[in-house]
A and B are shown apart, each in its own frame.
Chain A
Amino acid sequence: MTMLSRVAERLYWKARYLERAEDIARLVGSYHLLIMDIPRGAELGWDVLLRILDAEPQFYSRYRTASEQNIVKFLVSDTDNPGSVVSSVRSARENVRTTREVLPEETWEQVNELHLFVKEAADRSIGRRNRQAFLDEVVSRCQMINGMLQTTLSRDHAYRFTRLGHLIERCDMTTRVVDVGVMELLERDSRFAAIDPLVWSSLLQSLSALGAYRRTVGPLLDGTSVAEFVLKQGDHPRSVLYCLRGMRDAVKALSNNDDVMRHIERMRRKLGRLRAEQLEPTEFHRYIDDFQLLINQLHVLIGDTWFHPET
């Protein structure tokens, strides 16, 4: 049974948006916790989050100061920011609306409920008091939807394009998070070295990887091994390597997959060659930049191959 390109594209975007909503909620949530642990004078600015998301130009076109309040609002409840939690959920919902026939029946209901919840609660969840509960709820509802899809969606094209969307978005987010860690910490003034483990643990937390790291690597955190872990620990579902393997599996069953397979393989080899401990911070940053470029190319390639091929 084949699938319309339009439907495949909407499924892919639905998954990307759902993953984005979850990832941003995680990011803001873990940052929120981190901020409370950091001694006065050593504060990381909230604008780190803008840098992670490459959203500075967009932010400053509408907000004057990079205050906590403004940034959280921008990332969570701002309907004019297409990358905010609210907007991502809305876009996910629009995509589900027109692909209901190929998804399990509960999908629409659950995504719609998530949309209603976010729309209703986002505005009053900007302040520190309600923030965490709201973000947790977003993450857990997104996971509910994913879990439902995992356990009920037939392993057909609908599943494959959903997988692709989730994994490429997650891959993108994980590399972004690592990049900021690298930038912020490897270049940091040694005087604040004591807080480094806090920052790295927050980074792991935002990827739900703290426990796994402790069990696999050990309880002591240092920058390069954390970065290597979230990039290359293939057993961890939020690691980049895991995402690449998952995408490869999804793509394997699709037709005309040569170019995409080759590209994923290229990314995997590049990842394999990484030796974080041998790299200067600037080199590491360049490495991540190159990798991000490959992710973007993969996205374009997926579109050219299955969504709007030359006919």
Chain B
Amino acid sequence: MNNHWSSYQPGSFYDELITGRGSPRTAARGAINLFQQLDADEMAARREAAELAIREMGISFTVYTEGGNIDRAWPFDIIPRVISAKQWKKVSRGLMQRSRALNCFIDDIYNKQRILAEGIVPADIVLESSNYKPQCQGMSPRYGVWAHICGSDLVRNADGRFYVLEDNLRVPSGVSYMVENREITKRVLPELFENYSILPVDDYPSQLYRTLASLSPRDRKRPCIVVLTPGIYNSAYFEHAFLAHGMGAELVEGPDLIVGDDDCVYMRTVDGPMRVDVVYRRIDEDFMDPEAFREDSVLGVPGLMRAWKAGKVAIANAPGSGVADDKVVYAYVPEMIRYYLGEKPLIDSVPTYLCMDPKDRTYVLNNLDKLVVKPANESGGYGIMVGPHASAATRRRFAGLIEKNPRNYIAQPTLSLSTAPTYCDGGIEPRHLDLRPFILQGKDSWVTPGGLTRVALVKGSLVVNSSQGGGSKDTWIVEGKA
């Protein structure tokens, strides 16, 4: 028996693997039994093996620093996070419902704007947002779906329930690490798989291919799909290459594509121009097409928007999808579900205070020490203030920012993010984590079994982003009893 585990204290948080009374949760029992048999040397050896596998597999991500971009090895914790399939089923139904509603919303905004006319969502917050793209007005992509790939961030609160923290509808990333994490666990802890039936995650590229292929404007057995990347210096380039490889698709950069006079998109190949049916865009829409958006973009493809509007090419996610990826709009998602689907939300959102609303603002300014304040439009965990952890000076600075530009800030109660046992400095300690599942929607919809679990490796920290010291864990959805 290993004493690492006997001294494990989850504290007042919900722990993913261990109950408040200190015993393993049902789904995690088998895994914990195994880990308890590994002594300190054995744990260290497994961790080393994982690091070696990561180097060998070349799993890396890029960090921007002043001294240039650095490729860093992917930080990984060997203890998986385990969730029961029964519980996951409910979550994934909630996610699909949410993704359906969000797509109805985007389609409505760029067409009839019924939800605005009926005053359910205030028109100005949508139409004045920089994420609203008037260029998309009047478009109606196939199946009414705009956001084909959605990466939602979930957290589990002290009450043990999952909450959606945000919906990433622009170019969500991280899915390749979900697949690779499983691969690493298989290599370094093969015994874990003996007594479990764990839902596989490695078919994500085929599911993505299916979704994208269903969007093709031409009826072909094997439509031509490309992954459009900003290039090698993008922090997610590894993932772009991974997905292109997994789908047998070409990984293209802007200059590889041209739009002809016939409004069709072609890629430049050694056999001459070849027509492209679907562009999986991993480049921000502002840089996608210098004709339609930022003129100074050298990453984009002039005329891509024209081709899309002419229905000659499908783009995933559709330009303009970001209109629903806004922390202010987020507050209205439960309303959208009721309005468009006539259903009750199956998964909770976090209560959100909109600083643009005078009543909410007063509450926020009076309770900065209890709230998390976020800018409405940033990603990657930048510009966030976690009230209970912030200094008085930081709180004053944020109060100033909010007063100056209330539309740009929202606040939410500080959730007690759940924890899971994490191998740190030779011991096993609780660390906070979140979860990013991916929801695919084309002709059909599909949710990853699990997703990418990100873990804040710094003790007590709630920031899980890999650009800021976060790591990740393999995430298991397990069937039946262990």
Residues of A in contact with B (beta carbons under 8 Å apart) = 2-6, 8, 97-98, 100-101, 108, 157, 161, 254-256, 306, 308-309, 311
Contacts and interface: CB of A to CB of B under 8 A. Distances in A.
B255 A256 contact: no
Contacts of B272: 255-256, 309
A97 B231 CA distance: 11
B250 A6 contact: no
B269 A2 contact: yes
Given A97-B232, A98-B232, A101-B241, A2 B271 contact: yes
9 contacts: A2-B270, A3-B271, A4-B256, A4-B270, A5-B256, A5-B269, A6-B255, A6-B256, A100-B241
A6 B231 CA distance: 12
A97 B256 CA distance: 17
A245 B405 CA distance: 70
Contact of A4 (B232, B245, B252): B252
Contact of A306 (B255, B267, B270, B273): B270
Interface string B250-276: 111101101000000011111111100
A4 B269 contact: yes
A306 B269 CA distance: 7
A4 B267 contact: yes
A311 B258 contact: yes
A155 to B, nearest CB: 15
The 7 nearest A-B residue pairs measured at CB? A2-B269, A5-B268, A306-B270, A2-B271, A255-B271, A8-B270, A3-B270
Contacts of B256: 4-6
Contacts of B351: none
Nearest to B251: A101
A30 to B, nearest CB: 36
B349 to A, nearest CB: 39
B480 interface: no
Contacts of B269: 2-5
B270 A157 contact: yes
Interface in B213-252: 231-232, 241, 244-245, 250-252
Contact of B270 (A5, A97, A101): A5
A100 B250 CA distance: 12
B138 interface: no
Contacts of B241: 100-101
Interface residues of B, number: 22
A255 B272 CA distance: 8
A292 B241 CA distance: 39
A5 B258 CA distance: 12
A181 to B, nearest CB: 37
A4 B268 contact: yes
Contact of A6 (B244, B266, B268, B273): B268
B58 interface: yes
Nearest to A3: B270
A157 B250 CA distance: 14
A76 B256 CA distance: 35
Nearest to A308: B268
Nearest to B266: A311
Give the interface centre of B245, B269, B273 by most chain A CB atoms within 10 Å.
B269
Given A4-B256, A4-B268, A255-B272, 13 more contacts: A2-B269, A2-B270, A3-B270, A4-B267, A5-B269, A6-B253, A8-B270, A98-B231, A98-B232, A101-B241, A108-B58, A254-B270, A309-B272
Contacts of B273: 311
Contacts of A97: 232
A101 B231 CA distance: 14
A4 B258 contact: no
A2 B274 contact: yes
A47 B18 CA distance: 74
Contacts of A3: 269-271
A109 to B, nearest CB: 8
Contacts of B232: 97-98
A267 B241 CA distance: 40
Contacts of A4: 250, 252, 256, 267-270
A163 to B, nearest CB: 14
Contacts of B270: 2-5, 8, 157, 161, 254-255, 306
A108 B71 CA distance: 14
Nearest to B257: A4
Give the interface centre of B231, B245, B267, B271 by most chain A CB atoms within 10 Å.
B271
Give the interface centre of A4, A108, A157, A309 by most chain B CB atoms within 10 Å.
A4
A101 B58 contact: no
Contacts of A161: 270
Give the interface centre of A3, A5, A254 by most chain B CB atoms within 10 Å.
A5
A98 B273 CA distance: 21
A309 B250 CA distance: 19
A158 to B, nearest CB: 11
A12 to B, nearest CB: 10
A292 to B, nearest CB: 26
B76 to A, nearest CB: 20
Nearest to B244: A101
B99 to A, nearest CB: 30
Nearest to A307: B270
A99 to B, nearest CB: 10
A291 B100 CA distance: 66
Nearest to B255: A6
A101 B58 CA distance: 12
A2 B266 CA distance: 13
A141 to B, nearest CB: 20
A2 B274 CA distance: 9
